[in-house]
């Protein structure tokens, strides 16, 4: 039986509560108020004392399995992660967490490409050699080889020891901390035996350029980036613990943006523009409308913040569109308001909610149903 915690709800397990309070790295994901610890809007899995605690969005009342399904489907679609039915099912038992399943999928994908051949590229090397190879370096030879019978030269070598493979080697070693079954990751690690291991700061990682020779590794690269950014190691003394959490603000935004992009290929996603000293970055720009997603619970018009209205007005005025929509996830009842902002320059503000629940139980059915709901909102 899965341990389920819902976003914004109180953490009642005392040992888990103490664990969270004692780990400062977790404080941004939870809120402590008068000794009551509550989850924020971050969902995923928190492992503690060999137990997985799922933190889920509450989309369907009193249905843990359906809420877990929807969360997994949103992750799959937003981040273009392809899980089999067996992998999805394994997320729902107490033997495999979402993180474990995602890591195994990454390892399978990477191993499949590595078996076709390790990626190599020409790298410029400098070395002191017994024979000339490539270009003779005069200054270095005068400095290092005045009495030695060697030649200091510069040459290009077709090598597997490149930045992409160094990134993958770091990833497969790092991710072994979070999984029980390390077999696939170990197999990948062995193939990188000629690659130099380097510590990588994921926050400072430069985008690795992809070309026709290494394009087949791009999916593995993107999944690895996701896993490294979202997994949080929590080690104290001999206890192993971790968290794998997603900000629902970002997940909802990415999920809806991708839905809209598939419905309208001309849609612009996260387009940042400067209007003199004003910088605006709407979530979705359509020909005649701007859509901004807000992952907040709203019950009535009183829950719409003045700052959100001002933001919508700024979008309409500066982009020259008459219609702006604030799109929220449906909480209780469907919310539908049409407002007019401004007096001299007017912007029509549509406030809508989308029901993220669905009637089936398959991934493709879910995406099809949500697409229809979003399409009707824009109709």
Dist CA 313 CA 98 (whole Å):
40
Which residue do the tokens 């495999």 mark?
96
Instruction: Read off the pLDDT of each residue in 268-286 and give the average, rounded to a whole number.
Output: 90
**What percent of the chain is predicted at pLDDT more than 90?**
52
Model confidence pLDDT, tens digit, residues 306-343? 999 999 999 999 999 999 999 999 987 788 999 999 98
Let me know whether 169 and 140 are in one domain. no
pLDDT of residue 42: 94
Specify the pLDDT at position 60.
85
The size of the chain, in residues, is 379
Q: Are 83 and 101 in contact (CB under 8 A)?
A: yes
- Burial track 121-154 (b if 16+ CB lie within 10 A, e otherwise): beeeeeeeeeeeeeeebeeebeeeeeeeeebbbe
Give 286's pLDDT tier (boundaries 50, 70, 90).
very high
Whether 244 maps to a domain, the answer reads yes
Work out the average pLDDT over 182-197: 93
Q: Are 204 and 67 members of one domain? A: yes
* For residues 34-40, average pLDDT: 92
At 217 the pLDDT is: 93
Please return the burial class of 238, using the count of CB atoms within 10 Å of its CB with bins 0-12, 13-18 and 19+: exposed
Residue 289 is predicted with a pLDDT of 94
pLDDT at 374 over 90: yes
Per-residue pLDDT, 180 = 85
> What is the chain's Cα-based Rg?
26
Spell out the residues 6+ positions from residue 142 whose beta carbon is closer than 8 angstroms to its own: none
Per-residue pLDDT, averaged over 344-351, amounts to 93
Quote the pLDDT of residue 148: 67
Q: What is d(CA 330, CA 334) in angstroms, rounded to the nearest whole number? A: 6
* pLDDT recorded at residue 51: 85
Span 239-251, pLDDT tens digits:
567 889 999 999 9
Look at residue 321 and tell me if it is in a domain. yes
CA distance 132 to 130: 7
| 169 and 66 housed in the same domain | yes
Residues 42 and 60 in one domain: yes
Same domain, 140 and 276: no
254 lies in a domain? no
Q: What is the pLDDT of residue 147?
A: 56
Q: What is the pLDDT of residue 155?
A: 67
Are 65 and 168 in the same domain? Answer: yes
**Residue 289 DSSP SS3:** strand
State pLDDT tens for residues 60-117: 887 888 999 999 999 999 999 888 888 888 877 666 778 888 999 999 999 999 999 9
pLDDT at 139 over 90: no
The per-residue pLDDT for 96 is 72
Identify whether 361 is part of a domain. yes
- Residue 284 belongs to domain spanning: 264-378
3-class DSSP assignment, residue 41: coil
Q: Are residues 130 and 86 in the same domain?
A: no
| Cα–Cα separations (whole angstroms), residue 21 to 8, 219, 340 | 16, 36, 45
Domain boundary among 248, 280, 307: 248
In a domain, 175, yes or no: yes
Report, as an integer, the average pLDDT of 245-262. Answer: 95
Are β-strands 151-159 and 135-136 bridged in parallel, bridged antiparallel, or unpaired? Answer: antiparallel
Q: Are residues 190 and 150 in the same domain?
A: no
Looking at the DSSP assignment, which residues form a beta bridge with residue 241? 234
d(CA 319, CA 278): 12
Which residues in the chain belong to E strands, given as ranges? Answer: 3-6, 30-33, 36-39, 42-48, 51-56, 121-129, 135-136, 151-159, 231-236, 239-247, 268-269, 273-275, 278-280, 284-285, 289-293, 323-329, 336-341, 347-354
Q: In the predicted model, what is the mean pLDDT of the chain? A: 87
Closest CA to 117 of 216, 201, 199: 216
User: What pLDDT is recorded for position 261?
Assistant: 95
Q: Which residues contact 90 (CB under 8 A, 6 or more apart)?
A: 96, 101
pLDDT score for 100: 87
Give the pLDDT mean for 194-219.
84
- Distance, in Å, from the CA atom of 170 to the CA atom of 189, rounded to the nearest integer, reads 9
- pLDDT value at residue 348: 95
Same domain, residue pair 46 and 88: yes
Are 337 and 309 within one domain? yes
* Mean pLDDT lowest among 52-61, 117-126, 324-333, 356-365: 117-126
Per the domain annotation, does 253 fall within a domain? no
For residue 356, being part of any structural domain is answered with yes
| Model pLDDT, residue 146 | 61
Q: pTM (2 decimals)?
A: 0.85
What total of structural domains would you count in the chain? 3
Angle at 165 between CA 164 and CA 169, to 5 degrees: 125
Report if residue 258 sits inside a domain: no
What per-residue confidence (pLDDT) applies to 238?
A: 45
Shared domain for 183 and 202, answered yes or no, is yes
Q: Characterise 25 by phi-psi region: left (phi > 0), alpha (psi -120 to 50), beta (else).
A: alpha
Rounded percentage of the chain residues whose pLDDT exceeds 70: 93
Residues 112, 131 within the same domain: no
Whether residue 237 has pLDDT greater than 50: no
Q: What is the pLDDT of residue 33?
A: 86
- So what's the pLDDT on residue 161? 86
């Amino acid at each position: 039986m899965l341990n389920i915690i819902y976003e914004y709800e109180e953490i009642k397990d005392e040992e888990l509560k103490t664990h969270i309070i004692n780990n400062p790295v977790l404080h941004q994901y939870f809120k402590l108020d008068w000794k009551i610890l509550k989850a924020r809007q971050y969902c995923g899995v928190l492992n503690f004392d060999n137990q997985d605690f799922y933190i889920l969005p509450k989309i369907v009342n009193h249905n843990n399995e359906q809420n877990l399904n929807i969360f997994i489907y949103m992750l799959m679609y937003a981040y273009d992660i392809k899980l089999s039915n067996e992998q999805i099912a394994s997320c729902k038992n107490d033997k495999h967490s979402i993180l474990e399943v995602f890591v195994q999928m990454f390892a399978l994908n990477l191993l499949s490409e590595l078996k076709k051949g390790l990626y190599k590229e020409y790298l410029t090397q400098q070395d002191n050699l017994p024979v000339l190879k490539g270009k003779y370096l005069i200054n270095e030879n005068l400095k290092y080889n005045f009495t030695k019978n060697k030649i200091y030269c510069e040459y290009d070598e077709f090598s597997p020891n490149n930045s992409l493979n160094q990134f993958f080697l770091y990833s497969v070693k790092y991710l072994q901390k979070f999984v029980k079954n390390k077999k696939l990751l170990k197999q990948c690690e062995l193939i990188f035996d000629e690659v130099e291991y380097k510590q990588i700061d994921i926050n400072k990682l430069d985008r690795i350029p992809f070309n026709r020779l290494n394009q087949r590794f791009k999916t593995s690269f993107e999944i690895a980036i996701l896993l490294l950014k979202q997994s949080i190691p929590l080690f104290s003394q001999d206890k192993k613990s971790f968290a794998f959490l997603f900000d629902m603000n970002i997940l909802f935004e990415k999920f809806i943006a991708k839905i809209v992009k598939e419905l309208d290929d001309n849609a612009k996603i996260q387009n940042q523009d400067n209007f003199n000293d004003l910088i605006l970055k709407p979530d979705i720009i359509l020909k005649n409308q701007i859509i901004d997603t807000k992952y907040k619970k709203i019950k009535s018009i009183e829950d719409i913040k003045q700052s959100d209205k001002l933001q919508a007005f700024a979008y309409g005025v500066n982009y020259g569109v008459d219609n702006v929509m604030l799109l929220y996830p449906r909480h209780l009842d469907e919310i539908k308001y049409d407002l007019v902002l401004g007096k001299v320059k007017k912007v029509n503000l549509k406030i809508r909610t989308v029901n993220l629940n669905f009637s089936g139980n398959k991934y493709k059915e879910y995406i099809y149903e949500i697409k229809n709901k979003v399409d009707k909102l824009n109709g």
